[in-house]
Amino acid sequence: MTRAAVIQMVSTAELSANLESAGRLLGEAADGGARLALLPENFALFDSSLARDLAESEYRDRLLSQWLGEQARRLGIWLVAGSLPAIDRADGSLIEDGRVRSRMLVVDDRGEVVARYDKRHLFDVDVGDAQSRYRESDRFEPGDEPAVVDSPVGMLGLSICYDLRFPLHYQRLRDLGAEVMLVPSAFTAVTGEAHWEVLLRARAIETQCYCLGADQGGQHTPTRLTWGHSMIVSPWGEVLGCQERGEGVVLADIDLAGLRRQRDQMPVWQHRQDRC
C-alpha cells in the first residue's frame, strides 16, 4: 500500500498567503506518510479576475512552477497542483483573446513536471447562492484531451472540478489505464451539498478506481462559499476519510493489489456493451 493525501484550503486573492498555507499543509501530508498530495482547484489564487495577470507572470517567470518543484523536492513527495491559470496551449500557441486555461500540473519528487491537464468542462451555470451566476467560459478556454500519468500511488487519471459531472471523461481515463482519479475542485456550497459526495462515489464505483477529491472549503468572499468535504473514496465506493470544513489534510492508503483483485472478481470493463 502507498499513502495519498488530499488537501483542503480556503484560498483567497492573496497569492503569498495561499502559498504559505499550501506549503504548511503539504508538510503535514508528508509528515503523515503521503507519497502524493493533491491540492485543490485555484489553490494559489481564488480570484478569476486576476487569472490572466497570474498566467502571464507564470508564462514569463515560471515562479509558481519553481515553487511547486521546490516543495516536492523538499518534502520528497509527488504533488499535484489542482489548477493554475495558463495562457499557452499544449501545442505551444498562446491564447490571444484574454482568456486562460485552467491547468493541472503533476510534479514528481525530483521537482519535475511530468504531466499536465487542461480542464475540459467549464462551469457555466446558474446557482441558488449569493453569487448566483457562474460563467467560466468568459475567462477560461476549455482544454482538449484527457490525460493519465503513472505515479507511486498508481496510474493517475486527471480531471478538474466540473469534469466530475461527465462520466464519459472518467470512462475514457479508465480506458487509458487510470487507477486513481484526481478531482481538485472548488464546488459551491449549494452544488456540493447536493452532489459532491454522490458524484465522487459514483465515479469510483463506475470505474473501479480510487477517487481523490480535494475541495476548497469555506468563505472566500461575501458571495463565494465553497463546500469542502474533501475526501478519498475507495473503488468500492467507501469514504476512507473526509475533511468537512476549513483547512485540513485527508490521508488514506491506496491498495492497488486490492483494486486489481476487485476488478478481477467483478470484471465490469469486460462486460461493457459500449465504448466511449
β-bridge partners, 185: 215
Question: How much is the pLDDT for 276?
Answer: 53
- The span from the CA of 148 to the CA of 117, in Å, is 9
Choose, from 136, 161, 209, 211, the residue flagged as catalytic.
161
DSSP state of 226: B
pLDDT classification of 274: cutoffs 50, 70, 90: confident
Q: What is the mean pLDDT of the chain?
A: 97
- Residues 56-77: what's their mean pLDDT? 96
Is 145 a catalytic site residue? no
58 labelled catalytic: no
- For the entire predicted model, the pTM comes to 0.97
Active-site annotation holds for 161: yes
pLDDT at 275 over 70: no
CA 154 to chain centre: 16
**pLDDT score, position 129:** 87
Strands (E), 111-185: 113-118, 124-126, 133-135, 148-149, 156-158, 180-185
Note the pLDDT of residue 132. 86
Domains and CATH numbers, the chain: 2-271 (3.60.110.10)
pLDDT, mean of residues 112-138 = 94
* Tens of pLDDT, residues 196-255: 999 999 999 999 999 999 999 999 999 999 999 999 999 999 999 999 999 999 999 999
Catalytic-labelled residue, pool 119, 136, 179, 211? 119
**136: phi then psi, degrees, rounded to nearest 5:** -60, -35
* pLDDT, tens only, 34-47: 999 999 999 999 99
Q: Find residue 113's DSSP bridge partners.
A: 107
Q: Confidence band (pLDDT; 50, 70, 90) for 136?
A: very high
Largest CA distance in the chain: 51
- What's the average model confidence in pLDDT over 21-25? 98
- Distance CA(238)–CA(183), nearest Å, equals 16
